Amino acid sequence: MRINLSGILKDFGREETIEYETYFDEIEWEGEKLKFKEPVKVKAVFTNTKDDIIVSSEVNTVLNVKCHRCLKEFPYEMSIQFEEEIKKSINSAGFDKDVFYLDEDNTIEFDDVVKMHIVLNLPMRFICDVGCKGLCSKCGQNLNIISCTCKEDVFDERLAVLKNFYEKDKEV
Ligand SMILES: [Zn+2]
Ligand SMILES: [Zn+2]
């Protein structure tokens, strides 16, 4: 949502609280596209300080993600809080792509700020449950649902190697 902050720019110390709900289709994360399952609820308090506008925000949403271990899709709830600076104008230091600026009409597309902070708060890996057993590396079955016998095969393979070793020994 584009937010107009002209109202608080008149005096230092002025605050404005804005709450809204928006819907993001997807977000880029680690080369993947994550889909949103629920709308994004945003609450933001903007404060006019001398140099910048400081915004303190709370964001809640639910994403559809895939478990890193078992590949099952599951809802990932996010509830984040962050603070961000919004520069009133490009100062003598010049434009910095990592900084948010007010546009000439004193507005900011706050969704861009929200999206950035959602991405910053995502985990390295999504796991559906701490106890998720994942997929069997041999047969690919979901070990949360079924228990395969592949582990015994691994053991058998080791025995086979040992057997070959002894057989080679005999040949010499
Ligand atoms: Zn899982
Ligand atoms: Zn298996």
Per residue in 48-68, pLDDT (tens digit) is 998 899 999 999 999 999 999
Q: Is a pLDDT exceeding 80 seen at residue 85?
A: yes
Return the ligand number nearest the Cα of 134.
Answer: 1
Return the ligand number nearest the Cα of 139.
Answer: 2
pLDDT at 160: 63
Q: Is a pLDDT exceeding 60 seen at residue 154?
A: no
pTM, rounded to two decimals = 0.80
| Cβ < 5 A residues, ion ligand 1 | 67, 69-70, 128, 132
Return the ligand number nearest the Cα of 143.
Answer: 2
- Of 130, 159, 125, 164, the C-alpha closest to 144 is 130
Return the ligand number nearest the Cα of 147.
Answer: 2
User: How far does the centroid of ligand 1 lie from the alpha carbon of residue 131, in Å?
Assistant: 8
